[in-house]
Amino acid sequence: MSDVLGAKTILHPVSDLTKAKAVYTALLGVEPTADSEYYVGYDVAGQHIGLVPGGQGGPVAYWHVTDIEGKIAQVTEAGGAVKEAPKEVGHGRRVATVTDGDGNVLGLLQDK
């Protein structure tokens, strides 16, 4: 049985959170389920779409896992590299990013 629960979260870095919120609300056809000055999130069709200030790079898909440290160990042993170590982002949720051999960013997310 896999310890990967699927890529259920996609975060989009945006340069103007207010403008991006208007566009994504129109695109998705729903109001945000999380709306703050540092994060806007939508839950649509089993996916979570998040907008984060920063505006650099493209969207990152976050693979939900049951053991973030274990998954990082497996990925780095296979040739990947840690980009951002695991950190708590609230409500027991931890996130990290790793890269593959080509520099593609892969997000990892573990809920309590």
Predicted pLDDT at 57: 84
DSSP 54: T
Rounded CA-CA distance 20/42 in Å is 12
pLDDT in tens, 9-43: 999 999 999 999 999 999 999 999 999 999 999 99
Distance, in Å, from the CA atom of 112 to the CA atom of 104, rounded to the nearest integer, reads: 27
Q: Are strands 47-53 and 4-14 parallel, antiparallel or unpaired?
A: parallel
Could you give all domains of the chain from N- to C-terminal order, each with its CATH number? 4-110 (3.10.180.10)
Is 54 a residue whose pLDDT tops 90?
Answer: no
Task: Check residue 43 and give its pLDDT.
Answer: 97
Q: How do strand 81-90 and strand 60-65 relate by DSSP bridges?
A: unpaired
Find all residues with CB under 8 Å of 23, minimum gap 6, and list them: none
Cα distance between residue 84 and residue 71, in whole Å: 14
Q: Report the 10 Å Cβ neighbour count for 102.
A: 5
What is the model's pLDDT at position 1? 72
Of the candidates 10, 84, 90, the one whose C-alpha atom is nearest the C-alpha of residue 44 is 10
